[in-house]
Structure 1
Amino acid sequence: MVGDVYTLKMTAEQSNGSLGFIEGSIPAGAGPMAHVHTDVDEAFYLLSGELEFLDGDHTFIGKAGDFVFIPRGHRHRFKNVGVHPARMLFLFTPGGPEGAFVEYGGNPRPGEPPALWEPERSAPLEDLVTRYGSIMLPEDDV
């Protein structure tokens, strides 16, 4: 999705709504824009690399082995500010938002890096994330 690679390990459907569990590979310079989940908590565990996290108005660098918890209602995002892909595990509780990855993500091809999305492909994302209980927020003061 948008140049990142996300592998769903468990969905809300598979966990009776309890959680969504995902493995992510985020290329240098990539990551989602700031957003809020209105009814789910999100947690991240970094396996390798570094990611800049936003939590509210506070930014910090997460490194391999770090665990980051973002409670529902907190403005957040992550961005790979390094030169190598970052790998992480993350989960939603309860599950549900991972459905957006299934509904709108691309189909990766083994051995090929994901294509970056053109602006017209990203345009419908705001409607999609709204349907999954999230709100996109501006980046200008981050």
Structure 2
Amino acid sequence: MNTASPSAMPNASPIPPDDLQRHLTVAHADDENLPHIGIAGNTYTILVSGQDTAGRHSLIDMHVPPGGGPPPHRHDFEEMFTILEGEVEFTFRGANSIGRAGETVNIPANAPHSFKNTSARPARLLCLCSPAGQEEFFQLAGDPVANRTAPSPKLSNAEKLERQRKVMALLPKYRTEMLTP
């Protein structure tokens, strides 16, 4: 009988060795040093980026004011939302449903979807994207803001048009399509 420890045995585990170049990530959404991004009237705080997870996933804290939320779109990565506060209306493949605090909603890759805060109070969601990359898109397409509840900057009509052009140019790189409502 072999009594050697599993770590001493060559090829004893199908799991690769620990990558000591990677580090523990601890994030607090109210940390002003985190990236807080104002985009389309919402504020997204990048808690865990693809750099933290070797590209496996990202985690985004979303502050969605009344009336806020992205337009209809689809992308080739998984997206899962846990509603922490408030409620949002999800549209998934054309059907509407309400997500409330304490619920988790998973959107499969490639499925048309959107969400909107139809209530009178801000909503707060955690969004897990797998694989990572969506957080990079938000950082390139949005504007840095001071904290996780700061509003997006008010843009002039010319700035809005330029922002739309920028977003449309970024969409293919981030494997996303905007859909008409």
What TM-score do you get using the length of structure 2 for normalisation? 0.71
C-alpha distance in structure 2 between counterparts of 1:100 and 1:94, whole Å: 13
Shift, 1:58, TM fit: 1.1
Give the unaligned 5+ runs of structure 1: none
Q: Which has the higher contact order (CA 8 A, sep 6+)?
A: 1
Moved over 2 A (4+): 109-119, 121-124
Shift, 1:128, TM fit: 1.5
Query: Which residue of structure 2 aligns with residue 125 of structure 1?
Result: 167
C-alpha distance in structure 2 between counterparts of 1:113 and 1:52, whole Å: 21
Query: Which residue of structure 1 aligns with residue 56 of structure 2?
Result: 18
Query: Which residue of structure 1 aligns with residue 9 of structure 2?
Result: none
C-alpha distance in structure 1 between counterparts of 2:119 and 2:165, whole Å: 27
Query: Which residue of structure 2 aligns with residue 89 of structure 1?
Result: 126
For the structure 1 residues 73 and 125, does the alpha-carbon distance in structure 2 shift closer, same or farther, using more than 3 Å as the test? same
Contact 2:57 2:129 in 1 (8 A): yes
Shift, 1:116, TM fit: 4.3
C-alpha distance in structure 1 between counterparts of 2:151 and 2:49, whole Å: 24
Query: Which residue of structure 1 aligns with residue 31 of structure 2?
Result: none
Equivalent pairs counted in the alignment come to 138
Q: Which has the higher strand share?
A: 1
Larger Rg: 2
Show the 5 A alignment for 1:130-141. Answer: 130-139=172-181
Give the unaligned 5+ runs of structure 2: 1-38
* Equivalent residue letter for 1:3: G
1:58 aligns with one of 89, 95, 98? 95
Contact 1:55 1:75 in 2 (8 A): yes
Query: Which residue of structure 1 aligns with residue 40 of structure 2?
Result: 2
C-alpha distance in structure 2 between counterparts of 1:138 and 1:105, whole Å: 21
Shift, 1:12, TM fit: 1.2
Shift, 1:112, TM fit: 4.7
Query: Which residue of structure 1 aligns with residue 33 of structure 2?
Result: none
C-alpha distance in structure 2 between counterparts of 1:37 and 1:112, whole Å: 27
SS of 1:16's equivalent in the other structure is: coil
C-alpha distance in structure 1 between counterparts of 2:169 and 2:99, whole Å: 29
* Equivalent residue letter for 1:137: L
Shift, 1:62, TM fit: 0.6
Name the Cα RMSD after superposition: 1.5
